[in-house]
A and B are shown apart, each in its own frame.
Chain A
């Protein structure tokens, strides 16, 4: 009976042994038995493939053949020196023989004989390369983002759907005179700008989130609570989550205050120069007692014409000039608009109480005027400035004679 039972027991054990062996062979994790000097005395196919060797060829090799120096230290510490009856879990980096570098989560289980002597370890290897690579990528990308946020002088800011800061560049914190970027968290533009800038900026952002349309290179006037005014060129775009829902905005603002001030200054200078040029180009000359002359040189556009008219009329009234000679011998060309302007000026001159005489009407200009069909209507014209003066002076004499 006993013998029969033994046989049954043996058969059962044998079957179990085969099962265990199959289990180990088919496991997706690497499994190995490492002797005290880290020689592989057993490994399953998954383990062979992790270390990049053909099946069964790991036997007799040493773990250190595959490890980086740092990982070897780690392995020695956890597998050999820790001979206590304690499992240890650690990570190692291996240079597999198929040319791949792999990260392995390693679980070591020390084994002892009946006398309690350490004989080696059962070791499980889990390939965690993918996870580690992902972490490394994340760390790398975060370092890129941080270097961007810490060094770029442009103000970069991420805001949530209520336009609250959730991440900002160092430059923006400095712009607000805040020591640390964390000082901006959950704050809004209203905490750092006056209403004059904060309100339209907030409305812009809400509009961007509503429509999805970004703002590009908008020149904004920033008004600070301390009375400072700065100018920035701002680009803002919507931010989305995985489901494409808008969750906030991302913005970059560049300080263009200096450029803006420079532009304004330049504009002022240009305006001043233009004014000066206008004055220079429309000199009203006091040629004779009660007689003013305006020699018009170059081209005459409507702005210049109205300036001439303005300055001539003012001086006529100021000086009580009885006559004004408008000399156009130096004018480029006469078209109907210019002729119209000249006639209007002459008529205004008469209205204030003086008389206008147009001189320097050469053959060419006379022909142009005739061709254009313009009626110089009652306007006194003379061919040369000299003629004009002669006419004015003789008339003055006449008037004096009349009075006597």
Chain B
């Protein structure tokens, strides 16, 4: 089973996905993220996929599912570091992920996420 790194930065959970995940491994990773976020202290989740050069329709849909799941749990979500080729592939697959925020890198992602969380708490 693929190892999944998870980091807690205050009330933000950071999940860098470092390798291509397939089928069951991907689903398990998704479940792990949701379980990990199911904690009242976590307000936002940043999923960093900058290490991925390719995303197939399965993983694309899974990312969408995770984001929706997290949002249903009241967490803010941001996708970080989508590579140009990956962006093109996702669009070609019709996975626009329009309701999910994006950022180039973790720094700006955390900033954006923080802004979103603050807005929520206001």
- Contacts A313-B87, A352-B82, A352-B84 given; indicate if A347 touches B102 (C-beta within 8 A): no
A344 at the interface (CB under 8 A from B): yes
Shortest distance from the beta carbon of B81 to any chain A beta carbon, whole Å? 8
B98 in the interface (beta carbon within 8 A): yes
Q: Counting CB contacts under 8 A, is B91 at the interface?
A: yes
Stretch at the interface among B5-13, B20-28, B37-45, B103-111: B103-111
**Chain B 82-113 interface residues, beta-carbon cutoff 8 Å to A:** 82-84, 86-88, 90-92, 96-98, 102-105, 108-109, 111
Verify A310–B88 contact, CB threshold 8 A.
yes
Closest to B89 in A: A348
Query: Given A378-B98, A402-B115, are A348 and B84 also a contact pair (CB < 8 Å)?
Result: yes
User: Hey, which chain B residues are within 8 Å of A344, CB to CB?
Assistant: 91-92
Does A314 lie at the interface of the complex (its beta carbon under 8 Å from any beta carbon of B)?
A: yes
Contact B104–A351 (Cβ < 8 Å): no
Chain B residue numbers with a CB within 8 Å of A309 are: 88
Asked whether A317 is an interface residue with its Cβ less than 8 Å from the other chain, the reply is yes
Interface of A is mostly: helix
In angstroms, Cα B90 to Cα A313, docked, is 13
In the complex formed, the residue of A with least CB distance to B102 is A353
Interface range, A side: 20 to 34
Closest to B115 in A: A402
A317 touches B98 (CB 8 A): no
Tell me which residues across on chain B come within 8 A of A316, comparing CB atoms. 84
> Which A residues are CB-close (under 8 A) to B103?
353
The interface residues of chain B lying within 8 Å CB-to-CB of A317 are: 83-84, 104
The 5 A-B residue pairs whose C-beta atoms are closest, nearest first, are A313-B84, A351-B87, A348-B87, A353-B104, A353-B102
Which A residues are within 8 Å of any B CB, using their own CB? 306, 309-310, 313-314, 316-317, 320, 344, 347-354, 378, 402-403
Instruction: Report 27 cross-chain contacts, Cβ distance below 8 Å, ordered by A residue.
Output: A306-B88, A313-B84, A313-B87, A316-B84, A317-B83, A317-B84, A317-B104, A320-B105, A320-B108, A348-B84, A348-B88, A348-B90, A350-B98, A351-B79, A351-B82, A351-B86, A351-B87, A351-B102, A352-B82, A352-B84, A352-B104, A353-B81, A353-B103, A353-B104, A353-B105, A353-B108, A402-B115
Taking A320-B108, A348-B90, A353-B109 as known contacts, 18 extra A-B pairs with beta carbons closer than 8 A to each other, sorted by chain A number, are A306-B88, A314-B84, A316-B84, A317-B83, A317-B104, A348-B88, A350-B102, A351-B86, A351-B96, A352-B82, A352-B102, A353-B81, A353-B82, A353-B102, A353-B104, A353-B108, A354-B104, A402-B115
